[in-house]
Structure 1
Amino acid sequence: MLVLDHISKTFNPGTVNEKSALRDVSLSLEDGDFATIVGSNGAGKSTMFNAITGAFYVDQGSVILDGEDITFEKEYVRSKVIGHLFQDPLKGTAPHMTIEENMALAYLRASTANHAYFSRISASDKKKFREQLACLDMGLEDRMKQPVGLLSGGQRQALTLLMATMVTPKILLLDEHTAALDPATAEKVLKLTRQIVAERKITCLMVTHNMHQALELGNRTLMMHAGHIVFDVQGEQRNKMTVEDLLEQFSLHAGSDLDNDRILLSKDEN
């Protein structure tokens, strides 16, 4: 479903602020793969996501999605087939628009119709929106006419997840999408994530700082350091790994210990 073929990206080249963010990164995801990603700040996780979504063009290499070369495709075109959630719950929705209007925009963005207009949202479409909101079990189906800005962070993130997947994307990118939520809400959004990804068989990449999630969620774990993917594990080898094993493998392949405090603290979480 996704192939990153030796992609590299350097910001501010030739200046004192030059930063090599991605260095010859290669990755291949099969249809339905769910890979978690861990790494220190500045490892290149979010930059790799932005290379996939088209926030910038890579300097070298190519990005292939579902057999199509999208390396130089515009970001708004890629957004029709790529779902993307951020750590900040406020980024995925328009606060002054109603829940119904936000869902309509998400639905039309991913529409394949030649003439998809906001005014063409039908009563049956609105009924589907209500049914999908009811699945969140947050009471949002009864608040469809309310501005999204009145919702809590967890409710907005759950709504954003729904909007990103209401038309099944070819790939779903989750950039620490529960990190800014309180533990109970984070667990609820994570449960919804598991459910939606499994039911729709969506190919998914999820950045997490939680080492237990990195091994328990999905079928594959990637570790990044200094713009490289330094470790990639799946199958029986992954099933047998502990958090300590994962940290040891990071040190072995990266040449240094993992230095992210949030990640290290998470290894003792249940």
Structure 2
Amino acid sequence: MPAVADLDLAALNSATKYPSILTYHELDQRNNGGLTEKVTEFSGDVVLTEKVDGTNARIITLPGGDYFLGSRETLFYARGDRVWNEKLGIVEALRPLAERITSPELGIRVYYLEVYGGNKISRASAQYTGAQTLGHRLFDVAAIDPAYLGLPLADIALWRDKGGQHFHTEQELTEIAVDEGIDMVPRLATLKGSELPTGIEAMHAFLAHHLSTTLVALDAGAGGRPEGIVLRSMDRSVIAKARYQNYDRTLQLRAKRR
């Protein structure tokens, strides 16, 4: 593992970016925000978790205690920085956590968290707080081999986009969260893949049944409307998201055609 001063920060940033997650029903390219009937297929057990509407953030931890903080696209802070980018409240929310969590003995460990609430972190901030309270929840952890940092940036991006990052399983993720004392995004249920709805209307009802109000409100003034649900296989080989907004939009479009 190279010393922090010798790290290629562009390579580190690219190798640790969180990958895009597909929607459970495929997005309809002909209708902005709408969905088609094609679904993501799951087999075996599927874990349902709340999808929190905030900003995607990273804590990148290195052997010896060094760490970096960033959004999905950009690194904002390194351990010991006296001045940092205040954008989105990520450093404010995550620096205390980054200072106390365990460093990996080898390689790079990345904690992926949703930072939410606060002062307009997202358009949905008021659904989680009425007092501009800032919160965070862990939703994934990955182990990154430092050897990939030596590749050209284009190759790193290709490796990442083809699933090269090693994400921990549901059991491993839960154990890490417990060991480090980090709150996770809420677990709603565990179902068989065959129990998941396949129709648009059925999935809309499924969302309302499993998550009618957010479980991560930060104070009594929160509006409470949730964003949706993330579905993931136990080994995280398949992961997809189902957002109220997409299903509402699709059903509205269908109603107009009648």
Q: Which has the higher strand share?
A: 2
- TM-score over 0.5 for the pair: no
Query: Which has the larger share of helix?
Result: 1
Q: TM-score, structure 1 length as denominator?
A: 0.28
